[in-house]
Structure 1
Amino acid sequence: MSQTPGTLLAALRAEPPLVQCITNYVAMNIAANVLLAAGASPAMVSDAEEAGEFAGIAGALTVNIGTLSAPFVDGMRAAIAGAQAAGRPWVLDPVACQATGYRRRVSAELAAQHPTIIRGNASEILALAGEENRGQGVDGRDAVETAEDGARRLALQTGAVVAVTGEVDFVTDGNRHARVEGGSSFMPINTAMGCSLTCLCGAYAAVAQDPFDAAIAALAHFAVAGRHAHEGATGPGSFAPRFLDALHALTPEMLDAQVLVHGVGEAVA
């Protein structure tokens, strides 16, 4: 990594980026709180009347297709165009892109718009790469390792850094790769964890020189904070507030000292 997770966390907190989050209705409040706890500034601006203009002043844009509707998609298109015109990074979260024809069409259209980072579970990444998967609705039922080759091909096809999240996260730009360990067993049974992580990827992309480093830093922040929050939590309900506290309490020094990242920058076999 040219910039470590701790270095990027310090940059994020020194000048908190404004992150435009077009995310689903379930995730909005949680994602906003995650960004605030981490040190960034969220803005849930999605209407086509202003989304494109707002993307020009935001540090990054994140697009999540969790609760699709025609007006939402129009806002996504406008925001992506605005971000690209202003040279801003943008992140795609293809939630349940395998579930319906509408989702398949929209996710394919958006992926063709050259996102900076694509983040999804293994089933979503496999589906977006055009491969067989076992996803059911928003639930990913494929193991991360089964999606690694598909993630590499998707990265080469779209030009995006692809982050496959699960028990051990995998990040690739098609040539380099890394794996990030950590988190908590309570994370998959807390709603909007992945959606919030997508927004945090946007925050780090706003301050990073390399989106590969940005994706690793966002995953690292989640992984270390999840590990801290798990201590003392008795279930998903007690985990959630501990997680926000842990995101906020992590220092750059703690993050670099405690993150478990393997294979950083190595060529994908």
Structure 2
Amino acid sequence: MSSAPITPDAVADALVALRERAPLVHAVTNYVTAGFTANVLLAAGASAAMVDNRDEAALFAGVADAVLINLGTPHDTADVYHAAARGAQEAGTPWVLDPIGAGGLPWRGALAAELLQYRPAAVRGNASEIIGLHGLTGDDGPGGRGGQGRGVDSSDDPADAVPAAVGLLEWAGAVSASGAVDHVVSPAGTTRITGGSVLLTRVTGTGCSLGALVAAYCAAAPDVGLAVAAAHTHVTVAADVAAERASSPGSFAVAYLDALHEVSPDEVRRRARLEHDA
């Protein structure tokens, strides 16, 4: 894994690589946001498939370029998630865990902790989910302290999740905590990404689709830490552009998809606001 700092130039190069490869992301994801997630992937330059039955999930994980497992609306049984994660691990396909609700909902928190055994390339969540998931790994005692999330919302600051993210590197190549300032933690250090718009929190699916975009970048970028930071940067830059065009959630959602598609590497270099601490 590279230890080079994550810079706007590196992120811009990752965007070029994403669009050249156009990776297929197998998204086992939240049914509330599946359509929006597919549209985000297409707009950004990737493609999507939502194969969420246990008889095909493992097979398709080996066909796809990357896999997302999102626990937003989990199935009654955990079979499909284990099958997809195991299939990705066996095929060497990078996969991303989005542990929605891990900070406050016991069943899915336990499922997220179980899935870590399949070694995701990255874990992406809000601060409460990252803190909660780390607490369930045993490092903080039985059950851990967990977070105090409200549904998919977070009551913790992403900066407060950095120690938990560092702890999760035992299982994942990189971990990100989203919020007003996104924090991406990898063996290369911590990258803070600022920007975006509050309207991202007023459109269902922006967080779930970010997890899918992280997966897409994991298939294209040479380093998982860079991949995660590039996905977050792509989103914040696109949101900044969209907020210049729209001031309400509905129009913002359309402008955001357009911006994901239109943002150029040069615009990423100009607009990206990154701070990296090795």
Q: Given the two structures, how large is their TM-score scaled by the length of structure 1?
A: 0.94
Deviation at 1:180, TM superposition (A): 0.7
Match of 1:146 among 136, 141, 160: 160
Aligned length: 263
Task: Name 2:88's counterpart in structure 1.
Answer: 83
The question of whether the paired residues in 1 share the 8 Å contact of 2:173 and 2:225 is answered with no
Residues 10-159 of structure 1 aligned to structure 2 (within 5 Å): 10-71=16-77, 73-130=78-135, 131-155=145-169, 157-159=170-172
The question of whether the paired residues in 1 share the 8 Å contact of 2:104 and 2:132 is answered with no
Q: Give the RMSD, CA atoms, in angstroms.
A: 1.4
Deviation at 1:257, TM superposition (A): 2.3
Task: Name 2:139's counterpart in structure 1.
Answer: none
Q: Which amino acid aligns with 2:207?
A: G
Q: Which amino acid aligns with 1:207?
A: A
State which drifts further: 215-224 or 2-11: 2-11
Q: Deviations over 1:171-223 (max 9, x none)?
A: 11255110111110111121111100000000000011110000010000001
Q: Cα gap change, 1:105/1:5 in structure 2, threshold over 3 Å: closer, same or farther?
A: same
Q: Quick check: 1:224 aligned with 2:230? A: no
Aligned-residue identity in percent: 42
State which drifts further: 161-170 or 141-150: 141-150
Q: Given the two structures, how large is their TM-score scaled by the length of structure 2?
A: 0.91
- C-alpha separation in 1, matches of 2:172 and 2:16: 27
- C-alpha separation in 1, matches of 2:102 and 2:49: 24
Deviation at 1:132, TM superposition (A): 4.1
SS at match of 1:42: strand
The question of whether the paired residues in 2 share the 8 Å contact of 1:116 and 1:160 is answered with yes
Q: Which amino acid aligns with 2:71?
A: I
Q: Quick check: 1:249 aligned with 2:262? A: yes
The question of whether the paired residues in 1 share the 8 Å contact of 2:122 and 2:224 is answered with yes
State which drifts further: 119-128 or 105-114: 105-114
- C-alpha separation in 2, matches of 1:101 and 1:215: 27
Q: Deviations over 1:11-35 (max 9, x none)?
A: 1111210110010111100000000
The question of whether the paired residues in 2 share the 8 Å contact of 1:164 and 1:170 is answered with yes
Deviation at 1:111, TM superposition (A): 2.1
- C-alpha separation in 2, matches of 1:86 and 1:98: 30
SS at match of 2:102: coil
Q: Which amino acid aligns with 2:42?
A: L
Q: Which amino acid aligns with 1:171?
A: V
Q: Which amino acid aligns with 2:95?
A: W
Which ranges of structure 1 fall in alignment gaps of 5 or more residues? none
SS at match of 2:55: helix
